[in-house]
Amino acid sequence: MRLSILLSFMLTSVMGIISSTVHAEPTDVTVRVISRDAKFIGTSMGGMRITLRDAFTGEVLATGLTAGGTGNTDLLMHKGGGRRSSMTDASAAGFHTTLDLSEPRLIEVEAYGPLAQLQAAHRVVASQWVVPGRSLAVGDGWVLELPGFVVDVLAPPAHVKLSPTTPQIDICANVVLMCGCPVEPGCLWDATKYEVKGLVKRDGKRAGDMELAYAGQTSQFSGTLQISGPGTYEVIVYAYDPATGNTGLDRTTFIVDVKK
């Protein structure tokens, strides 16, 4: 009797698995990540790590990287603003997958990156219902917006030691959008409209702020910090767009030796 019950249970389980497999429908999903006020994040920035999960169970359904170009500037950036009929063409980076779904699932997507600039990387998460056989690869696909700037402090290098007689030091940083789009005066991403500053700490205490100005080369900003004495300095360089609230930062440290 016990054997027959066990066999019946196993048969029911197998039939259930077969049934769910038979009724599963391939469902295409395309996920794209767009930089706030700019273009798509793809191969040139290392891509974005995309993870699709069941929002209720946490089961990972698919994972991979966005790949491709930053997209068509004319489709994405409109001087007059207004609603866009479409943002994508074949050049727009994305992550493409096909899920086998047997029933509607609330799917959560997480995007993390850009992976080539980990000091600027962070994540965005969204969720939506997906119905078997109903494509999410149509139109622009599932588009997530990633805020921020990629700020990369170029000088001074971290932990450099300076002479106690050093009067000042140049702080230099590179600033681009999360898609890698450059900034310079008069271009679509106007360097003169961004606030780029350094927040200075000395031995863990605030020691003032400093301005960084466009340095004459695409995406480059620089300023001069006056040294106020020996100690360990930390400089947090941030870029901020007052029109959108877009913000990004990087940091460096240096040491000014004590006089002997």
Angle (CA) 23-29-31 rounded to 5° is: 160
Domain map (residue ranges) of the chain: 25-146, 149-256
Reported confidence tier of residue 116, pLDDT bands at 50, 70, 90: very high
Q: Do domains 25-146 and 149-256 have the same CATH topology?
A: yes
Which CATH superfamily includes the segment(s) 25-146?
Answer: Immunoglobulins (2.60.40.10)
Which sign, positive or negative, has the C-alpha torsion 85, 90, 95, 96? positive
Per-residue pLDDT tens over the stretch 130-183: 999 999 999 999 999 999 999 999 999 999 999 999 999 999 999 999 999 999
Mean pLDDT of all residues belonging to the chain: 91
Q: In the prediction, which pLDDT does 128 show? A: 97
- The answer, yes or no, to whether residue 100 has pLDDT greater than 90, is yes
- The answer, yes or no, to whether residue 6 has pLDDT greater than 60, is no
Q: In the prediction, which pLDDT does 58 show? A: 97
Q: In terms of CATH architecture, what is 149-256?
A: Sandwich (2.60)
Query: Kind of pairing, strands 92-101 and 105-113?
Result: unpaired
Q: What percent of the chain has pLDDT over 70?
A: 88
- The answer, yes or no, to whether residue 250 has pLDDT greater than 80, is yes
Per-residue pLDDT tens over the stretch 183-214: 999 999 999 999 999 999 999 999 999 999 99
Q: What is the mean pLDDT of residues 77-96?
A: 78
- The answer, yes or no, to whether residue 90 has pLDDT greater than 80, is yes
Q: In the prediction, which pLDDT does 74 show? A: 86
Tell me how far apart the alpha carbons of residues 95 and 197 are, in angstroms, rounded to a whole number: 35
